[in-house]
Amino acid sequence: MNLTLFIWRQKGRDTKGSLEQYEAKDISTEMSFLEMLDEVNEQLIKNNQEPIAFDHDCREGICGMCSQVINGVPHGPQQRTTVCQLHMRHFKDGDSIYIEPWRARAFPVIKDLITDRSSMDSIIQAGGYISVHTGGVPDANAVLISKENADTAMDASECIGCGACVAACPNGSAMLFTAAKITHLASLPQGQIEAARRVCIMTEAMLQNGFGNCSNHYECQAACPKGIRVSFIAKLNREFMKAHLKDSV
């Protein structure tokens, strides 16, 4: 099939970008979205033009590198799917497709569709750790965890840190991402030692890195390729209040 693409091109951090039009010809419906872009890039290179820069790594939907807003939706029209796992069979011959980078103050564009997402690393660095015993390897089953808590922690740990939640949020907030990390660790006994401190410093890191505040649009949940739920944000808010109450008592 043949497609018309409108792709964001931007030379560098401090330059102005714009949408450029490209034609993608003879695209197979079996291709993934990234393979389609690879094809377009092959053509561009053949014509001595600068290929389109985009992030990608595992192409298995688990690394969180691919990050494109396709027709106004982060990761495109297919629910719970990353761009690399989105296939061209979900598009029709003759379609126009708009491809833009994640947009938020905390995610400055480096080049074309690649944004700098190290602001999310800063949030993890601030509080995404637990205290562990040094010395011998502990018995894996020594700490008992209820099935419910283990399930919640596993669900929250599905977050691959791609930043689609931030990209979808009208406020550029990283609440869903931070809430997933908080819920993951706060649901487990191993995460209790730093629980109160963690929620305070991670939310602070969120503000320091230029993310916005949550005003409960729930766009993040709809955009998340891993199905992270906004109920984790309520959990974060509870943990936050608990931490401050503890502080003031």
Partner 1 sequence: MAVTGQILVLFIIIHMIGNSAIYSGGLNAYADRLHSLPLLVWIFRLVMLTMFSLHIVFGIGLYLENRKAKPDEYAIRKDMRATFASKNMVWTGLLTGVFLVYHLLHFTIQIIHPESAALSNSDASGLPDVSGMVVQSFQDAGVSAVYVFAVTALFLHLSHGIQSSFQSTGISSERTLPVIIKTGAITALVLFLGYVSIPVLIYIGLVKG
- Interface with partner 1 (CB under 8 A): 6, 19, 69, 71-73, 98, 100, 103-106, 168-173, 210-219, 221-223, 229-231, 233-241
* Beta carbon nearer to partner 1, 28 or 149: 149
Which CB, 61 or 101, lies closer to partner 1? Answer: 101
Nearest distance in Å: CB 200, partner 1:
15
For partner 1, which is the closer residue by CB, 59 or 103?
A: 103
Minimum Å distance from CB 130 to partner 1?
Answer: 22
Contact 174, 106 (CB under 8 A): yes
Q: In the complex, what is the shortest distance from the CB of residue 231 to partner 1, in angstroms, rounded to a whole number?
A: 4
Amino acid at 89: R
In the complex with partner 1, the residue whose CB is nearer, 100 or 112, is 100
For residue 107, give Cα distances in angstroms to 33, 54, 208: 22, 14, 13
**Closest listed residue to residue 203, CA positions, set 186, 225, 221:** 186
DSSP one-letter code for 106: T
Q: Which is nearer to partner 1, 2 or 96 (CB)?
A: 96
Which residues, including other chains, have CB under 8 Å from residue 59's CB and lie 6 or more apart?
Answer: 32, 34, 66, 84
Smallest distance from partner 1 to CB 182, Å: 12
- Residue at token pair 């719970």: 80
For the CB of residue 41, give the shortest distance to partner 1 in the complex, in Å.
21
Q: Nearest distance from residue 77's CB to partner 1, in Å?
A: 9
**H-helix or E-strand spanning residue 165:** helix 164-168
- Output the CA–CA distances (angstroms, integers) from residue 189 to 94, 101, 103, 142, 146, in the order listed: 54, 38, 36, 11, 10
Our CB check for partner 1 shows the closer of 112 and 138 to be 112
Could you give the CA distance from residue 192 to residue 188 in angstroms, rounded to a whole number? 7
